[in-house]
A = this chain, B = another copy of it.
Amino acid sequence: MTTAHSEERAARALLTRVVEPGDETGGRWIRHFGAVTVSERLADTDRPLPGVTRARWDGLCNRAAHARTLDDLGTARALGIRLVCPGDSEWPAQLDDLGDTRPVALWVRGLPSLRMWALKSVALVGARACTEYGAHMAAALASGLTERGWVVISGGAYGVDGAAHRGALSADGATVAVLASGVDQAYPRGHTELISRIAGQGLVVSELAPGDHPTPSRFILRNRVIAALTRGTVVVEAAHRSGALATARSATRLGRMTMGVPGPATSALSAGVHQLLRGEAALVTDAAEIIELVGDIGELAPEHRGPVVPRDLLAPATARALAALPPAGTATTEDLARAAASTPDEVTGRLYELRSLGFVEREGGGWRLTGRGRGAGRVGVGEVAEVAEGEGE
């Protein structure tokens, strides 16, 4: 089980309450001094760390003094929320591309492994006040992507985000909401039920600590996490100056694919997308075109090929789901939940992890082993379980 040691975890939990998302100075401190030292120094008002004004330092120390990290970790655990830190086996390595604006840690609600899910994920983002066409496209792309084994990541907002999450859920698919508030906060309020469905069937993620509220800058900075987690960002509908365009620009800066869905030239809600399409974004009209662009060269990103699979990566529940699959033919989620002594939601999460690893594929409404999956199966469930990682703390 690879997790950061508890002092480091407590420090990072504290820092998620103190350092604002995307704060480069905070990121630099953590890189130079380590999270533990930074959190200790925040208790010492008189010795400011370099690069901030006195007033700002006082503000940070004040925040730190009011944070109750052990309470946070305890409360979070009680709510089914875990802290995922850099170095944990669940940490999505691609977030490191953010450099000093990398999240200090991520608070995560939901059963599946964020790292596994993010391996083959696409961001669908767009206008809150989208048109019926935008909502239709978001849902259709999301269900098309999840039906092909891809994970849909979005921001949980009204409009395009919501339609994307719902499209994924309705296809029994994998979806992740990255919030600009604590993962226990349903924002917007009208999405309370949607967000708890996502937490049940997928993942709800935030770099903000439980209980924290969104601010305009947190919305904007949340977008870099969506862009960094995914292989590419698709903007479905966006007016000029839409926040979705910020996500797209982040994606381009990070070397991810940026894509746009065209719409009527007469629609103000497609004007921002058309602007992107005149620049670096690629035009996409269906899920297959997206997948062609985000690439699927083999089933795993190169750094995960070879001996790390499956020994280093399969959690016990994932190994049980793999073992439940019939050697030939397909099985439904319900069959597999029964066979693995689990629930359909839990099993769905595991199946998408296995899909990311190239062990299983969807066929019709069911799931089947791939050639690689049959190979991995030969390892034996016991053996896999023996060396598997734990989740969270």
Contacts and interface: CB of A to CB of B under 8 A. Distances in A.
- Count of this chain's copies in the oligomeric assembly: 2
A264 B274 CA distance: 12
A75 interface: no
A136 interface: yes
A274 B266 contact: no
Contact of A265 (B263, B274, B278): B263
A23 B285 CA distance: 38
A277 B283 contact: yes
Nearest to A286: B265
A264 B264 contact: yes
Contacts of A278: 282-283
Interface in A237-288: 261-266, 270-271, 274, 277-278, 282-286
Nearest to A136: B266
Contacts of A264: 133, 262-264
A271 B261 CA distance: 12
A244 B200 CA distance: 50
A127 interface: no
Contacts of A322: none
Interface string A111-145: 00000000000000000000001001100000000
Interface string A176-208: 000000000000000000000000000000000
B261 A265 contact: yes
A148 to B, nearest CB: 17
A167 to B, nearest CB: 14
A390 B194 CA distance: 75
21 contacts: A133-B264, A133-B266, A136-B266, A137-B265, A137-B266, A261-B265, A262-B262, A262-B263, A262-B264, A262-B274, A263-B265, A264-B264, A265-B284, A265-B285, A265-B286, A271-B285, A274-B283, A274-B285, A277-B277, A277-B283, A278-B282
Given A265-B286, A274-B285, A278-B283, 4 more contacts: A137-B265, A262-B262, A262-B263, A277-B277
